[in-house]
Amino acid sequence: MSPEPTVEQLIQAAHERAASGDPLDLLDAVLAVTGDLAGRTDAAVDQVVRQARDAGYSWTVIGERLGVSRQAARQRYADRVARTSATVGLIRGRDVQAAVATALAAAEADHLAEAGTEHLLLGLLTDGVAAATMEQLGITRDKIRDASHRLFDYPTQPAGAGRPDFSAEAQAALHDAEQLATERTPTCAPVVVRTPQLLAVIATNPGSRARRVLNDLGVDVADIKRRLHCYINVPRTVFGRRTRHKRRPEEPSARCSFCGEPGNDERRLVAGPDVWICADCVTLCGEILAQPAGAGSA
- For the four alpha carbons of 279, 284, 209 and 37, in that order, the dihedral sign comes to positive
Higher per-residue confidence, 174 vs 275: 174
Show the domains of the chain with their CATH numbers: 7-88 (no CATH), 91-235 (1.10.1780.10), 241-298 (no CATH)
91-92 vs 192-193, strand pairing mode: parallel
Would the pTM of this model clear 0.75, i.e. be above it? no
> Average pLDDT of 248-273?
67
Torsion angles phi and psi, residue 115, rounded to 5: -95, 130
How far is Cα 22 from Cα 18, in angstroms, rounded to an integer? 8
Task: Tell me the per-residue pLDDT of 197-225, one tens digit each, with 9 for 90 and over.
Answer: 999 999 988 878 999 999 999 998 888 88
Q: Are 254 and 262 in contact (CB under 8 A)?
A: yes
CB-side neighbour CA atoms (13 Å) of 229: 17
The full DSSP string for 108-160 is HHTT-SEE-HHHHHHHTTSSSHHHHHHHHTT--HHHHHHHHHHHS---SS---
Does position 289 have pLDDT exceeding 60, yes or no? yes
- Beta bridge pairs of residue 278: 269
How much helix, strand and coil, in percent to the nearest 5, is found in the chain? 60, 5, 35
Does position 123 have pLDDT exceeding 90, yes or no? yes
Kind and range of the H or E element at 277?
Answer: strand 275-278
Confidence bin at 81 (pLDDT 50/70/90): low
Higher per-residue confidence, 82 vs 104: 104
Torsion angles phi and psi, residue 273, rounded to 5: -75, 95
Q: Are 268 and 278 in contact (CB under 8 A)?
A: yes
How far is Cα 163 from Cα 169, in angstroms, rounded to an integer? 18
